[in-house]
Amino acid sequence: MNNPLVSVMITSYNQKDILPRAIDSVLSQTYKNLQIVIADDGSTDASQDLINQYYQRFPDQIKPILSPKNQGIPKNKNMGFRACDGDFITYLDGDDFYYPEKIEREIKVFKLEPSFGVVFSNFAFVNQNCSTSKYWKREDIFVPQGDIFIDVFSRNFPFWTLYRNELIRKELLEKINYYDENLIAYEDWDSRIRLSKIAKIGYSDYVGAAYVDDPKGISKTEKRQRLLQEMRYVMTKNSRLLNDLKLFEKIKVLRTLEIAILEREISCSPSLEKLFLTFKYVAITGNLKFFLNLIKQKIKSIMD
């Protein structure tokens, strides 16, 4: 491996004002053998005009993939992935950005350990002003690498948040047939589960990317509940991949996920459903203290 072609797939949807930051962060990479594929999901602002302007400036490096209508995140990502010509593929959301050595550092990891199929880096959580609020991986936190299928399936990573913007061998993405287009969320977790089943995964401690926090977030209860449904779908769909594990490993993975999902369901459910889910949680975990604390919080809210 000398300096293989790396394709960076940037997704865009109505992000005209911030998209240049993402594109420029890729153009500024210290690793130079790059192709930039920009997949726009039917933007109704001037994003597609902006993308064409970049293409006119860098016709040998930028490849626009412009959809006439909105298709949704997984379909748009797959459209971009399939247009990539590189031996390695990474990606970037239009509202995030890379730090200069991201790709160079990850390629170095591949060169040191050719058996890896995927390499990911540390990343920063930043606010709208690009000020760092925290790093995904701190000094006191261990990040698994190698055969990490169980860790990926059970989301055994800092803040229960999986890695982002990983660099992937193209043939592996083709082998798993890219993203599941039935999903509206957690399509990245689903793909990482399937990739980690067939590939060893490496880690670079370099802070390679910035995840820009959206202050609006997901606040509506129905949206949060829909996300939890998607999470359950991913867990159920991929549970067959656990069949070759030892029984206690399989039970541990599913139990860990069930508890984590239940905790989130309890936090965004109506009162009666919350009570039912809490009893279910206590039955699984034996954590009566959690139930008592919930009752105390409810009494306090009534008294206040």
Averaged pLDDT for residues 49-70: 97
Q: How confident is the model at residue 190 (pLDDT cuts 50, 70, 90)?
A: very high
Contact (CB, 8 A) for 193 and 149: yes
The per-residue pLDDT for range 245-279, each reduced to its tens digit, is 999 899 889 888 887 887 777 666 655 455 555 55
Q: With DSSP H G I counted as helix, E B as strand and the rest as coil, what are the percentages for the chain, rounded to 5? A: 45, 20, 35
| Pairing of β 34-40 and β 62-66 | parallel
In this structure, the dihedral spanned by the alpha carbons of residues 208, 214, 219 and 222, taken in order and rounded to 10 degrees, is: -70
Of the listed ranges 21-25, 97-101, 135-139, the least confidently predicted one is: 135-139
Is the per-residue pLDDT at 285 higher than 90? Answer: no
Whole-angstrom Cα distance, residue 12 to residue 76?
9
Q: How confident is the model at residue 129 (pLDDT cuts 50, 70, 90)?
A: confident
Torsion-angle region of 183 (φ positive above 0: left; ψ -120 to 50: alpha; else: beta): beta
Q: Is the alpha carbon torsion for 291, 296, 302, 304 positive or negative? A: negative
Of the listed ranges 112-116, 151-155, 188-192, 214-218, the least confidently predicted one is: 214-218
Whole-angstrom Cα distance, residue 300 to residue 304?
6
> How confident is the model at residue 247, as a pLDDT?
92
> How confident is the model at residue 215, as a pLDDT?
65
Whole-angstrom Cα distance, residue 172 to residue 164?
17
Averaged pLDDT for residues 37-53: 97
Whole-angstrom Cα distance, residue 293 to residue 276?
16
What's the DSSP call for residue 154?
T
Is the per-residue pLDDT at 66 higher than 70? Answer: yes
Nearby residues of 187 by Cβ (< 8 Å), 6 or more positions away = 73, 74, 77, 179, 180
Whole-angstrom Cα distance, residue 86 to residue 192?
20
- Identify the residue whose tokens are 């069930």: 258
In this structure, the dihedral spanned by the alpha carbons of residues 4, 38, 96 and 113, taken in order and rounded to 10 degrees, is: -20
Task: Report which of residues 179 and 264 the model is more confident about.
Answer: 179
Is the per-residue pLDDT at 71 higher than 80? Answer: yes
Question: pTM of the full predicted structure?
Answer: 0.86
The per-residue pLDDT for range 197-256, each reduced to its tens digit, is 999 999 999 999 999 987 665 545 667 778 888 999 999 999 999 999 999 899 889 888
Contact (CB, 8 A) for 98 and 25: yes
Is the per-residue pLDDT at 170 higher than 90? Answer: yes
Cα dist. 68→44, 71, 133 in Å?
A: 9, 9, 37
> How confident is the model at residue 220, as a pLDDT?
55
Is the per-residue pLDDT at 13 higher than 90? Answer: yes
Is the per-residue pLDDT at 150 higher than 90? Answer: yes
Task: Report which of residues 295 and 103 the model is more confident about.
Answer: 103
Is the per-residue pLDDT at 50 higher than 60? Answer: yes
The per-residue pLDDT for range 77-88, each reduced to its tens digit, is 999 999 999 999
Percent of the chain residues past pLDDT 90, beyond the cut:
68
Q: Between 288-303 and 271-285, two packed helices, what is the crossing angle to 10 degrees?
A: 150
Question: Which domains are present in the chain?
Answer: 6-212 (3.90.550.10), 221-303 (no CATH)
Structural tokens at position 288: 């009566």
> How confident is the model at residue 302, as a pLDDT?
47
Averaged pLDDT for residues 163-167: 97
Amino acid code (one letter) for 109: V
Give the chain's mean pLDDT.
88
Q: Could you give the 3-state DSSP secondary structure of residue 242?
A: helix
